[in-house]
Amino acid sequence: MDFWKETRFVVTGGGGFLGSFVVEALQKRGAQQVIVPRKAQYDLREREATLDLLNDAHPEVIIHMAAVVGGIGANREHPAEFFYENLMMGVGLMHEAWRAGVKKFVSIGTVCAYPRITPVPFQEDDLWRGYPEETNAPYGLAKKMLLVQGDAYRQQYGFNSIFLLPTNLYGPRDNFDPASSHVIPALIRKCYEAKQRGDSHINAWGTGSPTREFLYVEDAAEGILLATEKYNDPAPVNLGSGKEISIRDLTHLIAEFVGFEGEIVWDATKPDGQPRRMLDTNRARESFGFQAQVDFHEGLKRTVDWYLSEGHISE
């Protein structure tokens, strides 16, 4: 427990969806020095703001989760923004963290970094065997550069940087904005609003045939903190549940949980994205003992229940 109590942490993106759960998990472990920088005060795209953060906080460990993210639609509309802002935040922060003597840098990457056609389950060694899915390649490659940078800084400077690859996350407090949300919150909101209006059907993107793997947000936070404490190697590590579900089955399951009984109409003119996604999770289990605990049906039910009870109220 001394590691948690005596270490000064900076958690970028700590006010966001995943970040808020990581901060809570840190506090449950007894961490007493957790700094969560806000964009209004520390715009990490700017070098001076990054230097201010490091000078003010004096962190020993940085968990870098700040990111500009969204679903397929948002990635298609803002590819330059997603590339530039994610790249500049991460690269500048890691460089200045090394210069400031930070002991450990934990980069949170993305499953979007994997090549479009990757054997399932995705193994970490497959990361460089092709170009990512075009709809989210700028975002995926910007995050992937932190793996390259961390490896280079480790080789030249002995800098302790690790790189984690979470799969698609879900859970309470997710982003339910239809303009920028990922598939699960987007479908929950769509089904809820259609039910409220009494609609006879909803339109869903694509064919419904692609598969996705989902990791409950509390499980993801646990995996990140286990790696923060125990993992110090350069090799990237997947964080996932090891299970996949088709978008079609997912949509019907969400409709059932929300109580929407209308028809689901698939719009094949919209992109499906990557055909399949599921991660090989052996390295995380063997390296630092991480294994997802929350069953997908249970986690999805918790997410829907949270949205129905309080998530839609603030919209």
Of the candidates 148, 139, 255, the one whose C-alpha atom is nearest the C-alpha of residue 208 is: 255
- Tell me which of 42, 139, 192, 307 is the catalytic residue: 139
A 10 A CB-CB count for 201 gives 11
Query: Does 139 participate in catalysis according to the annotation?
Result: yes
Whole-angstrom distance, CA of residue 315 vs CA of residue 122: 36
Are 103 and 215 spatial neighbours (Cβ–Cβ below 8 Å)?
Answer: no
Which runs of consecutive H residues, i.e. helices, occur in the chain? 2-6, 17-28, 47-57, 72-77, 79-99, 137-157, 183-197, 217-230, 247-258, 282-288, 296-306
SS3 204: strand
Q: Which residues pair with 204 in a beta bridge?
A: 266
Q: Which residues pair with 238 in a beta bridge?
A: 165
A 10 A CB-CB count for 103 gives 13
Of the candidates 61, 63, 52, 50, the one whose C-alpha atom is nearest the C-alpha of residue 11 is: 63
What does the block give as tokens for 153?
Answer: 């800084």
Are 128 and 86 spatial neighbours (Cβ–Cβ below 8 Å)?
Answer: no
Residue positions annotated with a catalytic role:
139
